[in-house]
Amino acid sequence: MENRQNEVTMDRPEAKKVIFSGVQPSGMLTIGNYLGSIKNWPALQDDYRCLYCVVDLHAITVRQEPAELRRRTYETLALYMAAGLDPERNILFVQSHVPAHAELAWVLNCYTMFGELSRMTQFKDKSRKYATNINAGLFTYPSLMAADILLYQTDLVPVGQDQMQHIELTRDVAVRFNQVYGETFRIPDGFVPKAGAKIMSLAEPEKKMSKSDSNKNASVYILDGRDEIVRKFKRAVTDSDTVVCRGENKGGINNLMTIYAAFTGKTDGEIEREFEGRGYGDFKLAVGETVADALAPVQERFRALMADKGYLESVMKDGSAKAFAMARKTLSKVYRKVGFTQPKV
C-alpha cells in the first residue's frame, strides 16, 4: 500500500508526533509481549507524545473472570511502569475509562466493510480457537482498534507483525472517512521493532508465543521466577543439530537466537562466535539466565507498584482525564461531520 501519511495535514498544537499502543489485560504477559512492545516503549517517551492504554474493552471478546480481569488491569498498568514508562512523560490509562473509544468504534463500524472484517486473520484464528463464542465483538474488534488509534490523531503505532493487518485496515477506514467528510483523521503508520518483534513458542516454534497457551512450558511470562525461566528454556524444543546458528529447519534455535539478541543487543554473528564449539545445552542455559537477569529489576519494580494500589489508581485517573480531553476533540469533530446534534453544555 502506498504511503498516505500526508493525506491529512491538520495542524496540531504540539510539535511531537503521537504514538498510541496498548496490551490486553487478559492472561499473564509473556516475554513476547515484553520484547514485541513494552520493552521498546520507554525509548520513545522523550521524542514523541505517547499514549499507552490497557485495552480492557478488547479483552472481553473472549470470556473473562471479572475479578481476574480487574486484577490483570492493575498488573498491566504496573508492568508498563515497571518496564520504564514514566506517567509524567506518557499518558497511561485504561481503555474503558474513556467512553469515546466505544463511541467512535460504533461510528467506524458504519464505515468498515463486512468483507474487510471477514478477511482479518486474527478473527479467523480466534473463531477456530473459541468456536463456541464467535461473537459480534470478536468480528468488529478491528473497528474498535481503529477507534483507539484514530481518536488521538496518532502518527505511529508500535505493533507486532501479526497486528499490521489491523493497521492497514485502520488506514483504509480513515482514508474512506476523510474522502467523504474532508480532513478528519491523521493516517497512522505502524512500525515493528527490528529485534524481537515476534517471539515464538518454546514448545512449538512454528507458532507465536501466547499468553493463552495451555502448555505453560511454551511461554515464558514476565513475572516468572528465575528458576522457572531457566527451567523452561532448558526444555525448549530445538533440533537434532548441535551448532548454534540460524538456518532452515532450525525454528527452535532461530527463536532462541532472536530472544538472546533482543535481550543482549548481540548480532547473529556475535552469538554464533560466542557459542562456537558449544552445544545447545550451554546456549539454552545462557538464554534462560540472560532473560532472568534482565527481568529481575522489572519484577522488583512491579512488586513495589502493586503494593501501592492508591498510586496506581491515581495514575489511572490522571491518565484517563488527559486521554478523555484529547479523545473528545476528535469525537466531537466526527459527530458534527456525520450530522449528529450536540447541544451546548
What tens digit of pLDDT does each residue of 15-35 get?
799 999 999 998 789 999 899
Q: Which of 194-198, 207-211, 234-238 has the lowest mean pLDDT?
A: 194-198
Burial of 311 (0-12, 13-18, 19+ CB in 10 A): middle
Taking 3-state DSSP, the helix, strand and coil percentages for the chain, each rounded to the nearest 5, stand at: 55, 10, 40
Q: Are residues 145 and 271 in the same domain?
A: no
Q: Identify whether 321 is part of a domain.
A: yes
Domain span holding position 231: 226-303
What is the reported pLDDT for 1?
37
Q: Identify whether 132 is part of a domain.
A: yes
Sign of CA dihedral 192, 27, 166, 52: negative
pLDDT at 196 over 60: no
Beta pairing partners, 121: none
What is the reported pLDDT for 130?
74
Q: Are residues 322 and 238 in the same domain?
A: no
Give the number of other Cβ atoms within 10 Å of residue 243's Cβ. 15
Q: Identify whether 109 is part of a domain.
A: yes
CA distance 318 to 99: 15
Q: Are residues 32 and 179 in the same domain?
A: yes
Q: How does pLDDT run across 287-329, given as a tens digit for each residue? A: 999 999 999 999 999 999 999 999 999 999 999 999 999 999 9
Q: Are residues 330 and 289 in the same domain?
A: no
Give the CATH number for residue 65: 3.40.50.620
Q: Are residues 181 and 99 in the same domain?
A: yes
Q: Are residues 238 and 315 in the same domain?
A: no
pLDDT at 195 over 60: no
What is the reported pLDDT for 124?
77
Q: Are residues 132 and 164 in the same domain?
A: yes
Beta pairing partners, 92: 52
Q: Identify whether 345 is part of a domain.
A: no
Q: Are residues 184 and 261 in the same domain?
A: no
> Which residues are designated catalytic?
126, 208, 211
DSSP 37: T
Going from the C-alpha of 134 to that of each of 64, 105, 129, 301, the distances in angstroms are 15, 19, 9, 38
What is the reported pLDDT for 4?
41
Q: Are residues 187 and 318 in the same domain?
A: yes
Give the CATH number for residue 297: 1.10.240.10
Average pLDDT, the chain: 91
pLDDT at 79 over 80: yes
Going from the C-alpha of 265 to that of each of 299, 300, 309, the distances in angstroms are 21, 23, 35
What is the reported pLDDT for 25?
94
State how many domains the chain has. Answer: 2
